[in-house]
Amino acid sequence: MSLYYNQGWITPAKYNLRPRLLLASTASLTALSFAVSAGADEDPRSIDQHRADARGLLEQAGCETALPTLNTIASSGQQALDYIAAAECAVETGDVSQASEAFWQAVIYRHQLDEAQRIYVYRSLGYQAEAAGEFSRSAIGWSEAAGITGDPFDELMAARAARLDGRPQSGAARLQQIDVTGITGPDLALYFEERALVMAETQPDAAAMYLARSIEIEDRPYRRFQRGLFLQQAGEERAALVEFSRALEDDPRNVDVLLSTAYAAQHVGDADLAADLFQRVLVIDPARSTVREELGYALMQADREQEAAVSFRAAILDPSLRDGEAADARDQRIYRLRRQVEQLERSTYGFIFASYRDGSAPNSVNLPETGPNETQAGGEFGWRPDAFNAQNTGLTLFGRGYVSADPGSITLNDSTLQLGLGARWKPLAGHDFYLSGERMIAGGDQARDAWLLRASYGWADGLDWNPSQTGWNYTTVFADLAYIPDDPEFLSAYASIRQGRRLRTGERWTVTPYVTGVAQWSDDTFQTRERLELGPGVVFSLWFDESETSAPSQRLDLEMEYRFGVGDTDDQAFITRAVWHF
């Protein structure tokens, strides 16, 4: 049960269910006890004198001063009425633990009381023990009261106490036996509330229905809040948001309600509302460092990227973020936030590469935009305009160029210079799937002027630096379908995979042994070609250019592979690449 919900039931006054059955005022009850012999070892006149002193002290200084004396009298005299006097004084001072204990002692000496007094003691024990969190005692009190009176309200409270004592089935059974025609108003609202609570775990939708009936009778913020939780359990996020919002109207500074409303808003896609609610939480309780992180993600979802970066930076610099977590988990969490900052504040990217493949031939099978062979150098630069980008989706404008070497050498041939300008669209936030169109521009006699259309998909695990591990998994998958509609027409399908393990060799340094497989089929109108290659590889990586609140924005990779042809591809090749990502 949530803290907010429990706070609705801290003291009996919160119930507003019915007036308590009172024996008498504290003073008159104490006076009444003077006539009862103590039955203890002390001289009865001495105990009477103590009682007289307590009465005078109570009248002059009030319960807070008189309570220790009343407790002493009760312990010495072992009279139920003395314990009741002490209990009522404890209630007045707000000490529910002392009140519960004193009423419990009165129950022990219940044989000294008449039936009306016993009913009063049992009910009072039920209230005070629940307030003190002593649910077993509360259950005893209400069960005994219900056994004497048979009153539907006492049965209802006994059922409630059984649930709080961890016996929901017993509570449900008692509820089934209650004649609801005997209860009305707030008591009936409590009855439907209890019906909801005993079935919440297994039937949240039915629980929400019963709580709605309770709200119709007596609308309370905590009931709206609880119904929202039930609706969330039942998968009705929008209805839950409505209930949380209604609860928030009546209790606007309750952090539990604010957070639940914010999470519900996130679930239904209202990121702006979620961000505003997280900000309200931080105004009320600035120490909640994890909420700063939640605020950052909500701002990202709302495409308020600069605000998100500010929130993540504040979370990173908050010392309390480092408390209460194991060092590895803390380092990973902080690095993840730093990477978010780096990505949010970056709108451009680029890379420069140089590659070499021994035995490269002008007729080797290659990607359509990368020239006649894999021995080449080039680069790409891209820009993601804010106006055309949402959270992890949108448009990238790019330009690139490369030049290939002559077959069998490392001498670059400027007649192979190929340039390109294009746009790449990422339609899905959760997948690295891209559609692109590019105008290939010939910079030399052996290059092409043509349109290139393509669809590509990538997935990677362990590509980034891991601050808390000495080794971690490394997997990359890439698939590409490319089409040149110009004459000569060209169609290519390409796929590659790597599987290895990154090993830390220093701060921001790794060595990654892996195995790789590459497959391609192509048709350039004149002939159809294919290749399938497998082999081992290794990549040495260095990450750099970072700050306290931003992850490294640049990486150098040096890759080496030895591939064996499979099937009709019977050649072997050594391949090396150097890539600077920035």
Q: How does DSSP assign 473-518, residue by residue?
A: EEEEEEEEEEEE-SSSPEEEEEEEEEEEEEEEEETTEEEEEEEEEE
Whole-number pLDDT of residue 190:
97
Token representation of residue 248: 């928030």
Three-state DSSP state, 109? coil
For residue 27, give every residue at least 6 positions away whose Cβ sits within 8 Å of its Cβ, in sequence order, or none: 55, 58, 59
Q: Which residues pair with 575 in a beta bridge?
A: 357, 561
* pLDDT value of position 567: 78
The pLDDT of residue 366 is 53
Average pLDDT by consecutive 10-residue portion of the chain (582 residues)? 32 35 36 37 64 82 88 91 94 95 97 96 97 97 97 97 95 93 95 95 95 97 97 96 96 96 96 97 91 95 94 90 74 93 95 86 52 86 92 94 88 92 95 96 91 96 95 97 89 96 97 96 84 96 96 98 84 93 98
CA distance 213 to 574: 75
CA distance 183 to 215: 16
SS3 578: strand
Contact between residue 261 and residue 281 where contact means Cβ atoms under 8 Å apart: no
Residue 243's Cβ-side half-sphere holds a number of Cα atoms within 13 Å equal to: 24
411, 405 in Cβ contact below 8 A? yes
H/E stretch holding 393 reads strand 393-404
Query: 258 in the Ramachandran plot: left (φ > 0), alpha (ψ -120 to 50) or beta?
Result: alpha
Indicate the pairing of strand 490-506 with strand 450-461.
unpaired
Phi, psi of 50 (to 5 degrees): -60, -40
Question: Among 577, 575, 579, which Cα is nearest to 358's?
Answer: 575
Nearest to 29 by CA among 62, 70, 1: 70
How many Cβ atoms from other residues are within 10 Å of residue 357's Cβ? 20
Given a contact cutoff of 8 angstroms between Cβ atoms, the answer to whether 295 and 304 are in contact is no
Are 389 and 408 within 8 A, CB to CB? no
Whether the CB-CB separation of 472 and 460 falls below 8 Å is answered with no
Residue 145 CA to residue 160 CA, distance in Å, equals 13
Tokens matching residue 151: 């009153």
Longest CA span, the chain: 123
Both structure tokens of 162:
């059984």
- pLDDT value of residue 540: 98
CA 80, CA 46: separation in Å to the nearest integer? 18
Residue 243 φ/ψ region, left for φ over 0, alpha for ψ in the -120 to 50 degree band, beta for the rest: alpha
- Residue 519 CA to residue 114 CA, distance in Å, equals 93
Structural domains of the chain, ranges and CATH numbers in brackets = 1-183 (1.25.40.10), 347-581 (2.40.160)
Rounded to the nearest 5 degrees, what angle is found at the Cα of 118, between the Cα atoms of 113 and 122? 145
Task: Determine the number of helices (DSSP H) and then strands (DSSP E) in the chain.
Answer: 19, 13
SS3 content of the chain, % helix, strand, coil (to 5): 45, 25, 25
Q: What pLDDT score was predicted for residue 572?
A: 87
Angle 271-284/255-267 helices, nearest 10 degrees?
160
